[in-house]
Amino acid sequence: MRPYILAETNWENMNNAKIELAVLPWGATEAHNFHLPYATDNYEADLMAAESARIAWENGSKVIVLPTVPFGVNTGQSDIYLNINMNPSTQFAVLNDIVDVLNRQKVYKLLIFNSHGGNNFKSMIRELGLKYPKMFISLTNWFSSLDRSLYFDDPGDHADEMETSLLLHLKPDLVLPKDKWGEGKEKKNKIKAIKEGWVWSERKWSQISEDTGVGNPKLATKEKGERYFKAVTTRMGALFSDLCEADIQNLYE
Ligand SMILES: [Zn+2]
């Protein structure tokens, strides 16, 4: 039983616990190229948050990891079989209820540990900040926490070299053999500004990728995944400790 994982701990432990920081991992359930499991984002969120919390806990930080929310925003993938979309308005309702519990029980620090590119929590955090002024709500996208080019050769953003390497390290039994890996080739938008990246529009996933991947997984290895996992969780472990120690009444230098 890991005392920093809410799903594993018990009332005996929690009855008088003084938790400083709650961490809420948030994933998605969606196809990841041909070869990775639908719960890829959830496994990444679960295992990274848990390992980061272990590091922080062993450093004396009172952190608790909540169960991972398994559904994300998949509005652009509505025609991809059994991608389970959770609308932003539903996510807001879920987040509101969790924040309400934490606020009532005086756990005033929350970190959303986001694992899915389609999830956007910033505007929700602004609105909840007004509603719950005692709460300090923060957000990290673990996949943007480090310069990925130091760990991987081929950039991508979905079921790519990075995610395939991570799953080869974390859940090797759930990765299909290499001859099943699609190329993750992305068709770019014909509108120049969108292609250049200074105008955003949601991608219609089934039209931009044949295999649902974006980014070629070909150069993925278990070793790359392990090295990146260690680097991310070391950084996140230090972040969890920093957040535990922060005086939220006196945040600015
Ligand atoms: Zn993913």
**Residue at 233: amino acid letter:** T
With beta carbons less than 8 A apart as the criterion, state whether 66 and 5 touch.
no
Closest alpha carbon to 99 in 133, 73, 76:
133
CA distance 147 to 150: 6
At 56 the pLDDT is 98
* 207-241: b (≥16 Cβ within 10 Å) or e: eebebbbbbbbeebebebbebbbeebbeebbebbb
Distance 28 CA to ligand 1 centre (A): 8
CA distance 228 to 143: 10
Distance 105 CA to ligand 1 centre (A): 33
Distance 116 CA to ligand 1 centre (A): 6
Distance 235 CA to ligand 1 centre (A): 20
At 155 the pLDDT is 86
CA distance 115 to 26: 6
Distance 41 CA to ligand 1 centre (A): 5
Ranges of the chain with pLDDT below 50: none
Distance 96 CA to ligand 1 centre (A): 25
CA distance 183 to 8: 39
Distance 211 CA to ligand 1 centre (A): 14
At 165 the pLDDT is 98
At 49 the pLDDT is 98
Q: What is the pTM of this model?
A: 0.96
Distance 17 CA to ligand 1 centre (A): 34
Distance 33 CA to ligand 1 centre (A): 10
With beta carbons less than 8 A apart as the criterion, state whether 95 and 51 touch.
no
Distance 227 CA to ligand 1 centre (A): 18
**Residue at 203: amino acid letter:** R
Distance 120 CA to ligand 1 centre (A): 15
Q: What residues sit around ligand 1, an ion, with C-beta below 5 angstroms?
A: 40-41
List pLDDT tens digits, range 3-61.
999 999 999 999 989 999 999 999 999 999 999 999 999 999 999 999 999 999 999 99
At 16 the pLDDT is 87
